[in-house]
Amino acid sequence: MTIIDVFHHNMPAENDFGYSQAIKSSELIHVSGQLSLDAAGEFLYADDFAAQLKQTYANTDKVLNHYGVTRKQVVSQVLYVVDLRQNAAATAVGNLAYFGDHRPASTVLGVTELTFPGQVIEISYVVDTKLPA
């Protein structure tokens, strides 16, 4: 695997845990789980699903913009949702609003907890740069 480009939000956790927000290899971009962090790496909106989802998509857009790709080039996503039964409808509404007519392959997993107290959503992606934008 030839790594072409690595993207970071420049948050302390990236160094503390040892990960990248995204790695581009050939035509694929593998995006780590995005969540509701601000530019300083502070977790935002504990227990507020709608606000976390909005910030998560904003952080996703930062990654996509770095690579000059669009949402239409996302080929798959995995959504990790705390209390999925309660948040399923909001997850679907947010997903439809974010992707519009584009339909990436999706897996939605109900989980008991995520990294931060009050974190209720995290989403990872695979993007194909060869698809039309």
pLDDT digits (tens, 9 = 90+) for 32-47: 999 999 988 899 999 9
Q: Considering the chain, what is the average pLDDT of its residues? A: 93
Taking 80 as the threshold, does the pLDDT of residue 74 lie above it?
yes
> What is the pLDDT averaged over residues 48-60?
97
> What is the pLDDT averaged over residues 24-36?
94
Give the pLDDT of residue 1: 53
Task: Report d(CA 1, CA 21) in Å as an integer.
Answer: 17
Delimit the domains of the chain by residue range. Answer: 3-128
3-state secondary structure of 29: strand
> What is the pLDDT averaged over residues 14-20?
79
Task: Report d(CA 127, CA 115) in Å as an integer.
Answer: 24
Residue pair 119/53 in contact by the 8 Å Cβ criterion? no
DSSP assigned state of 100: T
3-128 is a CATH 3.30.1330.40 domain: yes
Q: Which structure tokens are listed for 108?
A: 């939605």
